[in-house]
Amino acid sequence: MKDTALTPKFPQMLHGGDYNPEQWKDYPEVLRRDIELMREAHINCVSLGIFSWADLEPEEGKFTFEWLDDVIENLWQAGIRVILATPSGARPHWLAQKYEEVLRVDTNGVRQHFGHRHNHCYTSPIYRKYIRIIDQKLAERYASHPAVILWHISNEFGGECFCPLCQDAFRTFLQEKYGTLDKLNHDWWAHFWSHTYTDWSQIEPPMHIGEGSIHGLSLDWKRFVTKQTTDFMKWEIDTVKAVNPDIPVTANFMEIYVYGLNYYELSKPLDVISWDAYPEWHIGWSDTYPAIVASITHDMMRSLKHRSFLLMENTPSTTNWRGISKHKKPGMHELSLVNAVAHGSDSCLYFQIRQSRGSCEKFHSAVISHTGTSNTRVFREVTKAGSLLETLTPAVYGTTSPAKAALVHDVENKWILDVIQGPRNDGLDYFGTLFRCYHYLWQNGITTDVVDQKADFSGYDLVILPMQYLFQDGVQYKLRVFVQNGGTLVTTAFTGVVDSHDLCFLGEDTPEKLSDVLGFWVEEVDALYDGEKNSMVWDGKSYDLTELCEVLHLTSAQAEATYTSDYYQGMPVVTCNAFGKGKAYHVAAGAPQEFYDAFLARITDGMERAMDTAVPDGVSLSWREDAQGKKLIFVQNFANGERSLTLDQTYTDLLTGEAVSGDICLGAFGYRILQA
Ligand code: GLA
Ligand code: ZN
C-alpha cells in the first residue's frame, strides 16, 4: 500500500543522522572532511541545530547564523539534505540566568539549577517568547532552502514541572474538565481520608512532598502533562509553519517503555512520526527479546498515523549511557535496520554522525569516530546500510502492510497501573504480558497495529487487550460491536476493572465490565508471590500460571482450562464466549510465552501472515506491501545461531535477484528480503 512521501521534497529512504557542527566551528578541516566521509558512507541527510541555541543566539537578541548558513550550503552542494531542528531541547545560559522561571521545579518543590537538557518549563511564557523568536528566525532564514526537507521539533520531549505556573495551568485544566468541585470530589473519590477539596486553590499536583493517595488526581496530572507538552510543541509548530507550511514536522519519540507522555495524543499535531531506537542487543543468549521490544515500538510508531515512519536515531554501534556500553556485533546493525524497515521505517538515522570530542557523549559511537577515518568496522557497516537503503527505496519507500490484528497498549492504563495499590505492588508485569501476546504475531508476520483504546477497531479481525485495567469511556461499546460483527477479542487478567477516573465498576455482571461479551464476572483476584505457581492444562499441555489468578463466575462462557491447585482448583482460567458473530477469549491468570504462542496459533488460523511455513524460534517474519500490491517479506534471524525454514513458494531475493525456493538457512544476524 503506497502512501504519500514522508518528506515530499526528498522522497527517499533517509540515511544520516544527528550532526553537531557547532561543536567543531574551530576545526574547519574537520567540517570539510566530514562531508567527504558522509558521501562515502551513502549519507543523504543530517539533522542540524538540535542543541545549537547558544551558538545561534549567544546573547539575548544577538544572532549568529553565518556558520549555519555555510554548513547548510556545503551540505547542499554535496547533495546532503537537512532535517532542521528547533533548539528548545537545551537553553543557553543567558536565558536561565536572566529568567529563572524557564527552569523546572521538581517533585520536591525545588527549582532546578542550569544544567543538562530537556528540562525547561513547558508553561513558562518567557520560554515560549524566546523560543518563538529563534524558531521564527530559523524558519525565515532556512525553511525555503532547497536542502531543508523536515522540521525536527525540539528533542525527545519528556518530564514534568511542578512550578507555580504549571500548577496554575493544571488547576485551569481541571476546572475546564470538571466544572464543579462536587464533580471533581466525586470522580476523584476525594471524600476518602478527608481529602475533600473546598477550593480550587487547594489542588496541587501529586508530589513527593504532597498528595499521593488520590489516584484520579495522579491520572489527571499525567494527562495534563501530555496536554501541556503538546501545547508547547504546537506553539513551536505554529511558529515554523506560519513561515512555510509546506515543510512537514516531526518530533523524535522514545521507546514503548518511556510512557511519561501519551504519544497517541502528542502525535496528533505532527505530520511525520519518528523515534529513537536503542535496543539493548546481546544481553542474553538470543537477541529475540530486544528485537521484540524494538519491533513492537516500530509497530506502535507506524500505528500512530497508520503510515511509514522515520527511525530518527539509532547507534551505529554502542551507546554511552547504559551500565555497560556493548558494541553491536558485526551484522547486528544491518539486521536491526532491516527490522526497522520491515516494520515500517523509511530511514536509518544515527545518533551521531561525528563523535564529540569532550563532555558526556564523547564515548557514544558515531559514524565518524575520533580517528576521523573511514577505515573502521563501524564506518564500513554504516556504508553498507546506506547502499541497502538505496536498493530498498524503489521497493518499499512509503509503503506499509495492512494490519488485521491490533494489540491495545493504552498509556493511561499503564500510568494508573503504576500508582494503584494492590493486588501486586511488587510489580505487575504489564509489558511482559504485552510482549507475550505479541510474540507469535511478530514471529509469523501477522502485521499488528499497536493502538490505544481510542482506536477504531472495526477494521481488525483480532483485538487483544492485555491487562487493560482501565476502560476508557465508550470502549465497551466499541468492543461489543466488534465482537458482535464477527471479531475475535482476547482479554487477560485484570482487564476492565475501573473507569477513566479509576473508579471501580459496581455490580456483578454488567455491560461496563463487558460481562455479557466475555460471559463471566470476576469475584476476586489472588496475587501470587514471586516464584509461586499455579497451573492449568490447555489443549493437552500443562502451563505454569503466575502473578495474578482471577476467580471467575461464568455466565455464558465455556471453560477451556481450569486451575489445578489452590482453593480455586477446578475453576476456569481460559474461557471462550460466543457473542454475536464473534468470540471473546479471556486468560484469567499470568500465563507463559509457550501458552500464548499455542493459543494465538489456534485463534489466528486463517489470518494473513508473511508466509505459510513453520517459523523457528528466534526468527521473525514481517512484510510490507510494495507499490504493485505484492508482498516483500523480511526474514530475520535474531537467534544468535543458524536457523532454517522452508519457503512456501518460489520468491525472488531482492538483493541478489535470484529465485529462491525450498529450504533456506540463515546464519547468526542473517536476513533475506524476498519478493513474492
Ligand atoms: C537521545 C538523544 C540524543 C543522544 C542520544 C544518545 O536519543 O536524543 O541527543 O543523547 O540519546 O543515545
Ligand atoms: Zn513549570
Ligand 1 pocket by Cβ (under 6 Å): 155-156, 276, 278, 313, 319, 351, 361, 364
Mean pLDDT of 85-109: 98
606 within 8 A of 613, measured Cβ to Cβ: no
Q: Which cell is 417 given? A: 497501573
Q: Which regions of 66-142 does DSSP assign to beta strands (E)?
A: 81-85
Do residues 344 and 309 make contact, with C-beta atoms less than 8 angstroms apart?
yes
Q: What is the mean pLDDT of residues 136-163?
A: 98
**To test ligand 1's pocket by mutation, which of 276, 317, 322, 367 has the most ligand atoms within 8 angstroms of CB?**
276
Q: What is the DSSP annotation of 374-414?
A: S-SHHHHHHHHHHHHHHHHHHHHTTB-----EEEE--HHHH
Q: List 48's β-bridge partners, or say none.
A: 84
- The count of other CB atoms within 10 Å of the CB of residue 176 is 8
Contact yes or no for 45/16 (Cβ under 8 A): yes
Mean pLDDT, range 178-200, rounded to an integer: 98
Ligand 1 mean position, distance from CA 303 (Å): 23
Tell me how far the alpha carbon of residue 51 lies from the centroid of ligand 1, in angstroms: 11
Beta-strand runs (E) in 227-350? 249-253, 272-276, 310-313, 347-350
Ligand found nearest the CA of 156: 1
Q: Dihedral through CA 73, CA 75, CA 78, CA 83, nearest 10?
A: -120
pLDDT tens for each residue of 625-642: 987 889 999 999 999 899
Q: How far apart are CA 94 and CA 63, in angstroms?
A: 13
Cell of 519: 460471559
Report how far ligand 1's centroid is from the alpha carbon of 615 (Å).
Answer: 35
Question: What is the distance in A from the centroid of ligand 1 to the CA of 352?
Answer: 8
Question: Is 0.95 surpassed by the pTM of this model?
Answer: yes
CB 163 within 8 A of CB 121: yes
Query: Ligand 1, from 351, 359, 360: best to mutate by most atoms within 8 Å of Cβ?
Result: 351
Query: How many percent of the chain have pLDDT more than 90?
Result: 97
SS3 state of residue 32: helix
pLDDT computed for residue 1 by the predictor: 46
Residue 182 has pLDDT above 70, yes or no: yes
C-alpha 27/C-alpha 381 separation (Å) is: 26
Average pLDDT, stretch 271-291? 95
pLDDT at 90 over 70: yes
Beta bridge partners of 545: 534
Provide the grid cell at 150: 523536515
The residue among 627 and 245 whose pLDDT is bigger is: 245
Residue-wise pLDDT for 517-527, tens only, equals 999 999 999 99
Taking only the tens place, the pLDDT of each residue in 40-51 is: 999 999 999 999
Considering every ligand atom shown, identify the ligand nearest to the alpha carbon of residue 126 and give its number: 2
Looking at ligand 1, which atom is closest to the CA of residue 278?
12
Q: Is the pLDDT of residue 581 over 60?
A: yes
Which ligand has the shortest distance to the CA of 102? Answer: 2
Give the model's pLDDT for residue 159: 97
Residues 6+ apart with CB under 8 A from 532: 546
Strands 81-85 and 148-152: parallel
Amino acid at 127: Y
The answer to whether residues 153 and 47 touch, using CB atoms and an 8 Å cutoff, is no
Number of Cβ within 10 Å of residue 168's Cβ equals: 12
The arithmetic mean of pLDDT across residues 178-205, rounded, is 98
pLDDT(404) > 70: yes
Report all structural domains of the chain as residue ranges with CATH numbers, in order of start.
Answer: 14-396 (3.20.20.80), 405-603 (3.40.50.880), 619-675 (2.60.40.1180)
Percent of the chain with pLDDT over 70: 100
Q: What is the pLDDT of residue 441?
A: 98
> The cell 501472515 sits on which residue?
609
Would you name the residues annotated as active-site residues? 156, 313
In the predicted model, what is the mean pLDDT of the chain? 97
Task: Tell me the residue type at 444.
Answer: N
> 351 C-alpha vs ligand 1 centroid, how far in Å?
6
Q: Which atom of ligand 1 lies closest to the CA of 321?
A: 12
For residue 2, the model assigns a pLDDT of: 52
Tell me the C-alpha distance between 676 and 660, whole Å.
10
Distance between CA atoms of 360 and 158, rounded to whole angstroms? 20
Nearest residue (CA) to ligand 1, atom 7: 276
In this prediction, residue 284 has a pLDDT band, given cuts at 50, 70 and 90, of confident
Per-residue burial over 49-71, b = 16 or more CB atoms within 10 Å of its CB, e = otherwise: bbbbbbbbbeeeeeeebebbeeb
Q: Is the pLDDT of residue 603 over 60?
A: yes
Residue 80 one-letter amino acid: I
Examine the pLDDT at 35 and tell me if it is beyond 80: yes
CB atoms under 10 Å from CB of 399, counted, come to 19
Rounded Cα gap, residues 653 and 637, in angstroms: 16
- Ligand 1, atom 4: closest residue by C-alpha: 351
Q: Is the pLDDT of residue 3 over 60?
A: no
Neighbours of 524 (CB within 10 A): 10
Q: Which of 152, 154, 156, 312 to mutate to test the pocket of ligand 1 (most atoms within 8 A of CB)?
A: 156
Give the residue whose CA is nearest to atom 3 of ligand 1: 351
| Ligand closest in space to the Cα of 170 | 2
Q: Residue 340 and residue 249: Cα distance in Å, rounded? A: 21
Write out 322-366 in H/E/C secondary structure.
CCCCCCCCCCHHHHHHHHHHHCCECEEEECCCECCCCCCCCCCCC
Check whether 4 has a pLDDT greater than 80: no
Amino acid at 253: F
